[in-house]
Amino acid sequence: MSITDDEFVAKLEKHFSLYRINLRSPIASTVVRDHWYRVDILLVNELGLFRRADIEPNGQVIVSCDLLVPSGQGVTPFSPDPNWKLEIRAAPEFTQGKLSADRLAVPGFVSSGKGTFEYRVTCNNDKDAEGGKRFLCIRPSQLINFPQKQQAGVNLDIILPLVIGPIEIVTCGLKQGDTHLPLELWRDQTMDMVYEGYRVFDTSVQPPVNIAIHEMWDSGIPGKIWDSALVMLDVMKRIIDKRPEYIDAKHTLDLSAGTGLLGLYVASMMASPQSTIKQGKITITELDEAVDLINQNLITNNFLNHRNAQCQLITRSLLWGNSQEAACCGKADLIIASDVLYEAQFFQDLVKAFVDLSHENTRIYIGYKRRGLTEEEEKYFWSLCAEHFSITLLTLNGTEDIDDCLVPQMTVDTSVQLYRLTVK
């Protein structure tokens, strides 16, 4: 049975609580000091869509841009660049192959989900600074009439920043004339370009400890960070803060991890000097064909393998229902599962995976956002779980369960529900 337009709109509404900054066009990989460079960006939700009503007719998202220095061991941890500074200005619109005569009112987004700005790199002091590889961090710095219907109490956290790179800063010997123009108008089309985008998550500011998660939106479901994963990230922060005994010196398993965000974040917390958790085992699992992206993110965050010898971090291929692969993962004390309910035909295998990976004291936390499942399919899944587990729907600001304190406000904003399963 088809749904009405109003029902369709209501379903889409649940996906527009969080936005991401994405690249609209690749950027130059080589940057000459004191030259202006154009960056074209998009504002999209987890589905790659933008809701025009959030910014029309007079909304603005002003962005800022920072230079980050990569680590010598890999990419992270990033640190601020002490030698170079980055200036940013508004750029002209480029539509239907024509460049506007006037610049936008601000660098970023003006009444549109398509945005742009220009930046240049200048020396931070009188002495000549050395060039080398850097990364650009594009982040929201001010929201004006955005989103239009929720102007009160909105903070910058509703937009996920973007880190792109590496770019190579060159101090002399290279001439570039078109870099302030849109890519289509460049006379030199042979220059190497940068397409790679990352999301960066900090666990310590000083000293800097952070992880970079490479997304591959063309890879489908496992290739991006979904809203549910961001909610579960907040849950993990609360567990570390309020219930560290669930993780410290325990085995944490990130089930069907996609990009590997949650497991890598726990590992970075163990590497952070401010953290209360210092040791443990972390297993990050995915289907065999999707493990490569997680392994790439492990290489990107290579410091995690060296910073703390008491943190054991591994990736495993795991097909739900495969007892042999589950045995290779081992029993877990804490299982995190984000966005694993999407096909009813896999429910029995998923529950079998929970059983195979659990011992009598295992805690399983599931972040679930209703997408295409019917109410009957949901009931079927929970009935399968109920054969082996006690099921608790945790509530924001609740007082009846010891774990209600783990529920973040973001569950309400994103329509993600947090469930806990414990073995009967």
Give the tens place of pLDDT for each residue, 338-377.
999 989 999 999 999 999 999 999 999 999 988 888 889 9
Query: Is 335 among the domain residues?
Result: yes
My answer on whether 229 and 148 are in the same domain is no
Give tens-digit pLDDT for 127-145.
677 889 999 999 999 999 9
pLDDT confidence of residue 2: 44
My answer on whether 186 and 241 are in the same domain is no
Q: How confident is the model at residue 182 (pLDDT cuts 50, 70, 90)?
A: confident
Q: How confident is the model at residue 5 (pLDDT cuts 50, 70, 90)?
A: low
My answer on whether 178 and 278 are in the same domain is no
My answer on whether 179 and 264 are in the same domain is no
| Cis upstream peptide for 107 (omega within 30°) | no
User: Reduced to 3 states, what is the DSSP secondary structure of residue 386?
Assistant: helix
Query: Is 408 among the domain residues?
Result: yes
Sign of CA dihedral 27, 28, 33, 34: negative
pLDDT confidence of residue 219: 73
My answer on whether 257 and 385 are in the same domain is yes
- Which domain-ending residue is among 160, 195, 230? 195
pLDDT confidence of residue 127: 65
Q: How confident is the model at residue 209 (pLDDT cuts 50, 70, 90)?
A: very high
Query: Is 297 among the domain residues?
Result: yes
- Which domain-ending residue is among 130, 160, 195? 195
- Which domain-ending residue is among 195, 230, 251? 195
Does position 151 have pLDDT exceeding 90, yes or no?
A: no
Which whole-number Å values give the CA distances from 265 to 163, 168, 204, 224, 244, in the listed order? 17, 28, 11, 16, 14
Q: Percent of the chain beyond pLDDT 90?
A: 70
Query: Is 393 among the domain residues?
Result: yes
My answer on whether 237 and 385 are in the same domain is yes
pLDDT confidence of residue 18: 92
Query: Is 347 among the domain residues?
Result: yes
CATH of the domain at 411: 3.40.50.150
My answer on whether 403 and 272 are in the same domain is yes
pLDDT confidence of residue 125: 75
Please provide the average confidence, as pLDDT, over all residues in the chain: 90
Which whole-number Å values give the CA distances from 375 to 105, 143, 371, 415, in the listed order? 47, 37, 11, 15
My answer on whether 19 and 92 are in the same domain is yes
Q: Which domain holds residue 325?
A: 218-423
My answer on whether 88 and 152 are in the same domain is yes
My answer on whether 249 and 395 are in the same domain is yes
My answer on whether 111 and 260 are in the same domain is no
Give tens-digit pLDDT for 234-263.
999 999 999 999 999 999 999 999 999 999
* Total domain count, the chain: 2
DSSP secondary structure of 122-141: EESSSSPPP-EEEEEEEEEE
268 touches 306 (CB < 8 A):
no
